[in-house]
A and B are shown apart, each in its own frame.
Chain A
Amino acid sequence: MCGILGLYVPGGALPPTEEFIPALERLRLRGPDGSGTWRDESVLLGHRRLAVVDLSAAGRQPMESTDRRFVITFNGEIYNHLQLRHELDPVGGWRGTCDTETLLEAYRTWGIGCLERLNGMFAFAVWDRMERTLFVARDRMGLKPLYYSHTNGRFGFASRPGALNLLMNQGALSIDAEALRIYLEVGYIPAPLSFHEHMQKLPAAHYLLIDARGLRRVRYWDYRAIVPDRHRTVRSEGELLEEFDELLKDSVRVRLMSDVPLGAFLSGGVDSALVVGAMKRAGVAHPKVFTISFNEAAFDEGPAAAQIARHFDVDHVQETLDVDSLVDLLPAYIQEFDEPFADSSAFPTLAVSRLARRHVSVVLSGDGADELFGGYHYYPIIGRIAPLLGRHPRFRHVAQRLLAALPLHRLKLLAGALGSRDAVTLFHYLRSVSKDYPTLLSADAAASAGSETWFEQFASCFAMDLSAEEIAMRLDAGLTLPDLFLQKVDVATMAFSLEARCPMLDYRLVEWGMRLPLSFKLRNGETKYLLKKALCRDLPAGWVHRPKMGFGVPLAAWLRGPLKAWADDLLHDASLLSRLPLERSRICELRRLQLAGEREAHPLLWSVLMLLCFVQSHDAKRVAPFAYREVA
């Protein structure tokens, strides 16, 4: 795993390389093992290396092809690179064993078509010195980040927005109003939007082609149009379980490629247990697995994880913490997420990454299974509500009024959900952090488009006749997963220079999951039906069907306790608030309600606090502020 960046100025006039260094240093934690730059008259490429495969100098980047026509800077791993090498014939033979060299040769041989052959997680750029074109691509599911900016004829890209800001020498913070609104609404910003007005995130499964004439963004892979198998009887449950087992095992097997120690995250849940089980089957005798355990039983999956670890006979490394001690990670949280990031589950992810990095450089994680195989609690709820949306509007109106009049919060939510037009707007309603966030925004900002149209736009290319649950899963897989959860995993692991690999997001498994009939994802209100069945082959059913705990932290209590003074200082900082299109009085009121326990406003308040932290630290981040964090 690494950090990459680059600048392309078609007319020349590149800045000196020294001016480039602060931006590269900003990516230091992504690649502490070395750095390199390459330039010609119009392109400058930079790379920070976390050496995982081929630790020798032959893996250094930016890397030139043997014919010197192409230059690459690459972040990620190509898991099938050894297989691809059989099909490639580089001039002068292979120089080392690094996947970067394979990728470069693949591009030299197949051009853009190489993307279809890659199995991996990646963000990379290739400069073609002959054609004078820059090719920039991101992996299928959005595991590795890539931000870019195309302003005043200059094109820049980087792994993180902070580095790109330094690279493009953007001065004052200019916030994208639409991104701000969507962030407050759903807690993340869907690609290609970014928080900065001049900057975009390259969406998953897209590439960019940039030359003197301009820029073109192209999607090269798409799961949205995959039609699920409708007939359960086509393949039996046993056959599907076999197929899943084989796919997962192979997906894990290819991800074991590493020249440094490798382990896995293990919670007490289904997904990480499946991955660890597959590691064993793939031939890893005693993999190291990592768990954070909490002294507070309400948050603790430690005993469950320990039970699973004993059963699998793995080397279990567990750290037990007070949940409140996670607050100590707040500075790292704020520093590492260059954009406001509202998901507080980043705390435990940071903690487990810190623990794992003390022992290994690479971990496998179970991320992605919930979105592909129906793991979230709201999928069955959507399935139950969606048929009601087809009822007569008068019926819905009456039901809404009745439910809204009742004192239970969940019934009020249901009343709101009944106002949805269709499955997409229903998903949007249930997935949004706050329903009344527009009241926090000034009139101008509130007038910008919300996330609903982004969801509708993304869903407009879904296969025909999907169920409401399938629509929700595909929206999560395409929007929530890359722009929220995978961003969290990437940033939290990179904060400790740890590489995370997600076998559940192998594209073969994704395509298979998209075809899997819904009844093997959700059945009788049970989530992840097939995955639990698969795990029941290895573990006792009682362990598999334990209620899911999630990665929660007691945010509401923190904001009233250990983080109270910090939060109040930020929320009462008039000069800070004045830089954002927010209504100060409404925010103060929200805080009052939260402190008084009259409203569970902590998710929205947390979003606002992260926003304020981001603005506060923006100027400070313009110089490289970090030293490599010791983790041992």
Chain B
Amino acid sequence: MPSALIICTEVFANGGIQRFNRTLLDACGGLGIACAVLSLNDSAETVRAHAHDHRHHVAGFGGNRVRFAAAVARQLLFGRHRRVLIGHINFLTLCVGVLALRPLRAATLMLVAHGIEVWSGIGSRRALALGRVDRILCVSHYTRRRIDEQVPGLDDRRFVIFPNALADSWRQTVPADFTRPVPQRFILSVTRLEPGDRYKGVATVIEAFSMLSDAEVHYLIVGHGRDADFLRAMAARFGVADRVHFVRGVSDAELIGLYRRCEAFVLPSGKEGFGIVFLEAMFFGAPVIAAREKGAVDVVRDGETGIAVPFGDVIAVKRAIERLAADSVLRERLRANGLSLVTDEGPFTFASFARRCLAQLGPETADAA
């Protein structure tokens, strides 16, 4: 059975990278690729609670860097994995350094470049280490471009655009009724609400929302975090506190209902490495409004699969919401095109993702990019 070693930050938690890792394990499991996973931040208890796929072996180190580094070194020096997938650039120099002690290694070394962690500050040591990597799996074209700008001269053939996909679990989730009262008509955002996440653009949506002529529409923000009070105060200042609702503790099953009912899914985020949340919205039929920034442009193409606006442009967000509300033909076209990305032969289906996994981690294509 082909095997791969995956060295990552975390698997069983919220967040785009964690979700990518889970999708990767699901896909590998389906393909019969057994993975040994070394996860820095997952605790042993978390792993026991979540790791039900017995084809993989997940080891969690609960944030203990020393034990984690020792385990990585042991696996790289003595393991017999044919593929080594580094899930975060922070581990790159460690892995390359250890592998330098094993010059006759046979494993293909790959790095997953998600987004913000590689968009700046790669530095000379990591740049040198990147030269030792066989393949760089970039989740978006923007991520690839940013690496290229910082480390010019890397062979084109080393880069692989390896976008994320809608997790298969969504397909199997049975929608549940949302037990809390939901406004008749609403637009929706789903995001973390931390002060460091203001690039998600929720503040822009609140300001744009306050300018809408249609006072029947509400704004639901699903998520929680320390920035909720700032955003609440902002909604109050714009005079829409009674129509902006912060909702937390929403299960995936409940979220499906919200995606299906919303008039638009709006997240004009400025720093999405890929923007998997847009795929979720598309899968459940929500027309999407996103910012024309970074990795999101691979998913949300203006006028085709959604409406793309400049980041921070409150007037453009307002117009996009109004346009969607007024133009049912546009709405239906965006819905249909969005859905086509995540169903059948769409590029962001789980099946497509699995094919990409097979190409990179499978047995026959070890050296094909």
Q: Which chain A residues have a beta carbon within 8 Å of chain B's beta carbons?
A: 192, 209, 213-214, 216-222, 224-225, 227, 421, 449, 453, 456-457, 460-464
With A216-B213, A217-B211 already in contact, the answer to whether A460 and B203 are too (CB < 8 A) is yes
Q: How far is the CB of B7 from chain A (nearest CB, A)?
A: 25
Residue of B nearest to A205 (CB): B315
B residues neighboring A (CB under 8 Å): 195, 198-199, 203-204, 207, 210-211, 213, 215, 230, 233-234, 237, 239, 270-271, 293, 310-316, 318
Decide if B211 touches A222 in the complex (CB within 8 Å).
no
List residues of chain A with CB within 8 A of the CB of B215. Answer: 213-214
> Is B312's CB under 8 angstroms from A462's CB?
yes
Q: Is the CB of B313 within 8 A of A222?
A: yes
Q: How far is the CA of A456 from the CA of B237 in the complex (A)?
A: 13
Chain B residues near A453 (CB, 8 Å)?
A: 230, 233
Asked whether, in the complex, the Cβ of A219 is within 8 Å of the Cβ of B315, the reply is: yes
Instruction: Please state if B315 and A460 are interface contacts (CB–CB under 8 Å).
Output: no
Q: Say yes or no: B211 contacts A216, CB within 8 Å.
A: yes
Residues from chain B with Cβ under 8 Å of A456 in the complex: 230
Contact pick for A225, options B210, B233, B310, B318, CB 8 Å: B310
Q: Give Cα A216 to B211, complex, Å.
A: 7
> Are A461 and B203 neighbours in the complex by a CB distance under 8 Å?
yes
Q: Is there an interface contact between B310 and A227, defined as CB atoms closer than 8 Å? A: yes
The closest CB in chain A to the CB of B212 belongs to: A216
Cross-chain pairs A/B with CB under 8 angstroms, 23 sampled: A213-B215, A218-B318, A219-B315, A222-B314, A222-B315, A224-B312, A225-B310, A225-B311, A225-B313, A225-B314, A421-B195, A453-B233, A457-B230, A457-B234, A460-B204, A460-B312, A461-B204, A461-B207, A461-B312, A461-B314, A463-B311, A464-B293, A464-B312
Chain B, Cβ-Cβ closest to A226: B310
Taking a contact as CB atoms closer than 8 A, the residue among A209, A219, A421 that contacts B314 in the complex is: A219
The binding surface of chain B is classed by DSSP as helix
Chain A residues with CB under 8 A of B213: 209, 216
- When C-beta atoms are compared, the residue in chain B nearest to A421 turns out to be B195
Instruction: Report B-chain residues with C-beta under 8 Å of the C-beta of A192.
Output: 237
Contacts of A457 in B (CB 8 A): 203, 230, 234, 237
Q: Is the CB of A220 within 8 A of B315?
A: yes
A451 to chain B, nearest CB (A): 13
Task: Name the CB-closest residue of B to A221.
Answer: B315
With A219-B315, A224-B312: A464-B271 Cβ-Cβ less than 8 Å: yes
Q: Which residues of B contact A449 (CB under 8 A)?
A: 233
B313–chain A nearest beta-carbon distance, Å: 4
In the complex, how many angstroms separate the beta carbon of B312 from the nearest chain A beta carbon?
4
Contacts of A222 in B (CB 8 A): 313-315
Question: Which chain A residue lies CB-closest to B309?
Answer: A225
Besides A227-B310, A460-B198, A464-B271, 20 new A-B residue pairs in contact (Cβ under 8 A), listed by A number: A214-B215, A216-B211, A217-B239, A218-B318, A219-B207, A219-B211, A219-B314, A222-B313, A222-B315, A225-B316, A421-B195, A457-B203, A457-B230, A457-B237, A460-B234, A460-B312, A461-B204, A461-B312, A461-B313, A462-B312
Q: In the complex, what distance in Å separates the CA atom of A209 from the CA atom of B239?
A: 14
4 tightest CB-CB pairs across the interface, nearest first?
Answer: A460-B203, A225-B312, A461-B312, A225-B313
Chain A residues closer than 8 Å to B315, beta-carbon distance: 219-222
Expressed in whole angstroms, the minimum distance between the Cβ of B196 and any Cβ of chain A is: 9
Residue of A nearest to B293 (CB): A464
Give bound CA distance, A460 to B230, whole Å. Answer: 11
Which chain B residues lie closer than 8 Å to A214 at the CB level?
215
The smallest beta-carbon distance between B81 and chain A, in angstroms, is 35
In the assembled complex, the Cα of A463 lies from the Cα of B268 at a distance in Å of: 12
Residues of A within 8 A of B237 (CB): 192, 457
Which residues of A sit under 8 angstroms from B199, Cβ to Cβ?
Answer: 464
**CA–CA, A192 to B237, complex, Å?**
9
Smallest distance from the beta carbon of A57 to chain B beta carbons, Å?
38
A463 and B312 form a contact (CB under 8 A): yes
Contacts of B271 in A (CB 8 A): 464
B325 to chain A, nearest CB (A): 16
Rounded to whole Å, the gap between the CB of A219 and the closest CB of chain B is 6
How long is the Cα–Cα vector from A222 to B204 in the complex, in angstroms?
Answer: 12
Tell me the bound Cα distance from A463 to B198 in angstroms: 12
Task: Say whether, besides A453-B233, A457-B234, A460-B204, A217 and B210 are in contact (CB < 8 Å).
Answer: yes
- CB-CB under 8 A from B293, the residues of chain A are 464
A421 to B196, CA, bound (A): 10
Query: Whole-angstrom distance between the alpha carbons of A362 and B47 in the complex?
Result: 75
Q: List A contacts of B270 (CB < 8 A).
A: 464
